[in-house]
A and B are shown apart, each in its own frame.
Chain A
Amino acid sequence: MADIQKLKRVASQVRRDIIRQTHYCASGHPGGSLGCTDFFTALYFEIMDHDPSFNMDAKNEDVFFLSNGHISPVWYSILAHSGYFPVKELATFRNINSRLQGHPATHEGLPGIRVASGSLGQGPSVAIGVALAKKLNKDDKLVFALAGDGELQEGQIWEAAMFAAHHKVDNLILTVDWNGQQIDGPNDEVITLGDLPAKWESFGWEVMHLEDGNDMEAVVNTLNAAKAKTGNGKPIVILMKTEMGYGVDFMQGTHKWHGKAPNAEQTENALSQLEETLGDYPYPYQG
């Protein structure tokens, strides 16, 4: 039985970390990060069987790939609180000489990151590669990936989708952060995704719906249900509806906080709405 209250406490701290990381360097992507916080928390603290001592080849463990790499703040916070690297290192986000690059990278050796992402559309392909290797190695652990909804406008996503269905990559669970927003506005105004469930179904995937990706219990239940569907010859996609900016009232209901960092006043306001549960990391970085 998942301890939903514990997961919510973790999520609250992660949201605080997101606000502070982006504020201190005056850049970064808080909106999507906040929206996906519950998903990341559930994945790393409840669902995945993973090893924070970090082995790049992810042998015999579950593994996660973030395709929409710009929401690095949530991933970094989750990795830190999971024990991949010290929480205090979050104070170096986007600073020069930092391991916490603006978009996730392997280049500086940050534990937990297995491929760079940021240029969109590439994550599912990489995730498929790891999934194929697991099958070759008779490793029955799972591969998880997250992609943005706007990101589905990239053609490579659909190359990956066709491949995964054809080759029955059924140890793969892709989640789409379906918040309906992208930089220039709602998806429907930029380039409509149309009937997204129907698209994935027609591409041969097992489609699951998560109507409220900010309801921790629903997130946990859906991810568990997805795990139960693996191994049946079809890759799985979870269409996860979230609210961008969830947890901070002025960041919700708008696409404006995709890539904008909160100023001092906005940060104070945001933090007043989020309970400090695991302790804020000190800033500036002490070393």
Chain B
Amino acid sequence: MLDKIIDTGKKSTRDGFGAGLAALGKTHPEVVALCADLIGSLKMQDFIDAHPERFFQVGIAEANMMGIAAGLATAGKIPFTGTFANFSTGRVYDQIRQSIAYSHKNVKVCASHAGLTLGEDGATHQILEDMGMMKMLPGFTVINPCDYHQTKAATIAIADHHGPVYLRFGRPGWPNFTAADQKFEIGKALLLNEGTDVSIFATGHMVWRAVEAAKQLAVEGISVELINIHTIKPLDEEAILASVSKTKCAVSAEEHQRNGGLGDSIAQVLTQHLPSPLEYVAVNDSFGESGKATELLDKYGLGVVDIVAAAKKAISRK
């Protein structure tokens, strides 16, 4: 299966969001969009050109944006908010918590430039705590798609989901390897490769790196079961347990702090049902810094080499 996974050309996940939003503009008349002075960065122009009356520029005022989205949702619209991930979460956490999560509003918080791969703007903007923050809110669905095609499909899928969603994606061009016509199922883990020695659960940009790691491990005779967890919450616990029952050890890989992200979610499941060795590939409680996307990932422990090492370590702990 691994040899069928091929990079068809780099495109950014944020472009996938823009394409998905534009598609929704045609099919879902109740979809509206809001942006906090970052239309270009969020790739929202296509939607805006086609449906200018359904777009609201809120300026650099993200708290107001979240409240307005809650109001639009109350009145039956399906609002998609757009800004950087750090501004979509920490900055407006109470607004999201009270006006959206607790009030169960059908708002889609679409968060771009997440993680280290935001690059040169540096740590003030490189949010690494967002998946943790958002998964802790009751009722929120948290999705981190792996490439352009998956982000487009996810964007479209969440419009038909009833309830608040946090959709997280990134800035850089990134290998695009999933199917253009995929049907995105919220909450369903995707098996990319069947294996027996170790389960690698990856999310977002790290899925491609996990593919590369799995290919390297295969050469060394290590059989990796590779699973794409695009939905951090609700977590596909069944798929995780089924895989680890077989392989007996696991690795999690995410562009996020080791605290509170995918690794911790998986640990919670394993601890309760199937205590097994789990190795984390995540940022080790550090802020980021300016740099290029790939060199940053490598510097902060999110390299292919790190996934390979984690897999071997997990296996050794069996």
Contact = CB atoms under 8 A, between A and B. Distances in A.
Interface of A: 56-59, 105-107, 114-119, 121-134, 136-137, 155-156, 159-160, 162-163, 166-167
Given A105-B102, A132-B71, A160-B64, 9 more contacts: A106-B102, A116-B103, A125-B66, A126-B67, A129-B68, A136-B53, A137-B75, A156-B67, A163-B68
A128 B94 contact: no
Contacts of B77: 133, 136
A59 B75 CA distance: 7
A262 to B, nearest CB: 28
User: What are the 8 A-B residue pairs with the smallest beta carbon separation, nearest first?
Assistant: A129-B71, A125-B67, A133-B75, A159-B64, A159-B61, A129-B68, A126-B71, A156-B63
B67 A129 contact: yes
B76 interface: yes
A129 B76 contact: no
Given A57-B76, A115-B103, A137-B75, A132 B95 contact: no
Contact of A160 (B53, B67, B73): B67
B103 A105 contact: yes
A116 B96 CA distance: 11
Given A132-B56, A137-B75, A163 B61 contact: yes
Contact of A115 (B56, B71, B76): B71
Size bracket of the B interface: 20 to 34
Of residues A123, A125, A136, A137, which shows the largest number of chain B Cβ atoms within 10 Å of its Cβ?
Answer: A125
Given A125-B63, A136-B32, A59 B74 contact: no
A144 to B, nearest CB: 13
B102 A125 contact: no
B73 A129 contact: yes
Contacts of A160: 64, 67
A129 B103 contact: no
Given A115-B70, A136-B53, A156 B98 contact: no
A102 to B, nearest CB: 13
19 contacts: A106-B104, A107-B102, A114-B74, A114-B103, A115-B105, A119-B98, A124-B67, A125-B68, A126-B70, A126-B99, A129-B67, A129-B69, A129-B70, A136-B32, A156-B64, A159-B61, A160-B64, A163-B58, A163-B64
Given A116-B98, A119-B94, A128 B74 contact: no
Contacts of B312: none
B68 A126 contact: yes
Of residues B65, B66, B67, which shows the largest number of chain A Cβ atoms within 10 Å of its Cβ?
Answer: B67
Nearest to B32: A136
Contacts of B79: 129
A122 B98 contact: yes
